[in-house]
Amino acid sequence: MTKTTSTSRTLRARTRAVRGGLERSQHGETSEALYLTSGFAYPDAGSAERRFRNEEPGYIYSRFSNPTVAAFEQRLTLLEDAPEGVECRATATGLAAVSSAFLGTLSAGDHVLSSRALFGGCRYIVEELLPRLGIASTLIDGADIKTWEAAIRPNTKAFFLETPSNPALEIFDVRAIADLAHAHGAMLVIDNVFASPIFQKPFALGADIVVYSATKHMDGQGRVLGGAILARKEVFDDKLGVYLRNTGPSLSPFNAWVLLKGLETMDLRVRAQAAGAEQLIAYLKTAPGVSNVRYPFDPDHPQTNLARSQMSGGGTVVTFDVAGGRDAAFAFANALEVIDISNNLGDAKSLLTHPDTTTHARLPEAERRALGITEGMFRLSVGLEDPLDLIDDIDAALKSSR
């Protein structure tokens, strides 16, 4: 008999990553089936009525749920080590996950308190979109817990942060911030993209909602967009589930299938990429014309102790500054022959981003500088190439652009 399902939380993490959410069809396929269908046929009219009333199990329409999407959601929940009762809903992109987490749970008159160290799209949602809809927001320098405390209002319903942040790799004390949020009746929403579920388990640190861009490490090979929201079942039952079902930020079954397969190798990829990042920073710290090398597990990172207390690895992203301003920075980037210039991250290919002119360009200059984004700053997502080739590439580019 073929094994059909594997949802056990008792299996070890790497087994869950490969077997979690597996639900074989009658054919017993080894790779997960791809249910590329928008809808489902009902055995009879009464069944359709009962399914719409939630009185009978079964799929209805892929905007609501789909077996391939459900397999991805199940596998990610298992990988996250989410506590009993936490569920996952997949979304079309990471930003669909972030916007839905707020729009599906908050109402006009509520207030969101957020760290200002956010990815550009996340900042747009918190800083511009929510206030336009009557949900006030305050952005703070969140390194000191007192700044969070001082900005709480009676109507604060959600705290939000990315740790490590994009791109400056700032670390926030998740346990302390979660305790503060809970003491004031607010929920803590964490964007865990940079750490990935491999290196950081936000629920164990007190988070209430965890959001992901699955486009990054989960795919890990630059193929599809995707996102995910993990939260307790009650959060979905209360408002978020209805929001998702009726606004339609759903993940396509095809993308879910690619991401499901990506989860099988994510642990191996992320650990290998992090090892590559460690090798690269050792070189970058000695490279002429390079300064301000940042990596959460580097002893020179100002918050490395905090990073080590809540992460089990330093991640796959390194940042550094190249001397000489924007022209020198562009000359360096243009001289690279292996590493690509791109805005994505978490990919098997090493990708270099100039946040000042791309991902964070919509922020005013003073704000970019306050976030540590200078004209010479680069964010490097370390891929799976041999780190020695990456070092040679950077070394040659630095020399030729000097």
Ligand X SMILES: Cc1ncc(COP(=O)(O)O)c(C=O)c1O
Q: At its nearest, how many Å lie between ligand X and the CB of residue 193?
A: 4
The two three-digit tokens of residue 121, written as one number:
């799209």
Asked if 191 is part of the footprint of ligand X (rule: CB under 6 A), the reply reads yes
Stretch that binds ligand X, among 119-127, 148-156, 301-309, 362-370 (CB under 6 A): 119-127
Residue among 80, 162, 267, 375 that touches ligand X (CB under 6 A): 162
Residue type present at position 167: P
Q: At its nearest, how many Å lie between ligand X and the CB of residue 165?
A: 8
The C-alpha atoms of residue 229 and residue 236 are separated, in whole angstroms, by: 10
Asked if 329 is part of the footprint of ligand X (rule: CB under 6 A), the reply reads no
As a whole number of Å, the end-to-end CA separation of the chain is 65
Task: Give yes or no for a contact between 30 and 9, defined as CB atoms under 8 angstroms apart.
Answer: no
Pick the closer one to ligand X by CB: 318 or 397: 318
Pick the closer one to ligand X by CB: 74 or 316: 316
Asked if 209 is part of the footprint of ligand X (rule: CB under 6 A), the reply reads no
3-state secondary structure at position 322 = strand
Q: At its nearest, how many Å lie between ligand X and the CB of residue 296?
A: 14
CA 372 to chain CA mean position, Å: 21
Asked if 163 is part of the footprint of ligand X (rule: CB under 6 A), the reply reads no
Site string for ligand X, 86-105 (x = CB under 6 A): -------xxx--x-------
Asked if 66 is part of the footprint of ligand X (rule: CB under 6 A), the reply reads no
Stretch that binds ligand X, among 99-107, 115-123, 306-314, 387-395 (CB under 6 A): 115-123
* Burial class of residue 300 (count of CB atoms within 10 Å of its CB; 0-12, 13-18, 19+): exposed
Asked if 119 is part of the footprint of ligand X (rule: CB under 6 A), the reply reads yes
Residue among 77, 196, 213, 353 that touches ligand X (CB under 6 A): 213
Asked if 316 is part of the footprint of ligand X (rule: CB under 6 A), the reply reads no
Other beta carbons less than 10 A from residue 234's beta carbon: 10
Residue among 156, 166, 250, 401 that touches ligand X (CB under 6 A): 166
Phi-psi map region of 313: left, alpha, beta (phi>0 left; psi -120 to 50 alpha): beta
Task: Give yes or no for a contact between 169 and 306, defined as CB atoms under 8 angstroms apart.
Answer: no
CA 170 to chain CA mean position, Å: 15
The C-alpha atoms of residue 269 and residue 287 are separated, in whole angstroms, by: 26
**Given the rule CB under 6 A, which residues bind ligand X?**
93-95, 98, 119, 121-122, 162, 166, 191, 193, 213, 215, 225, 227
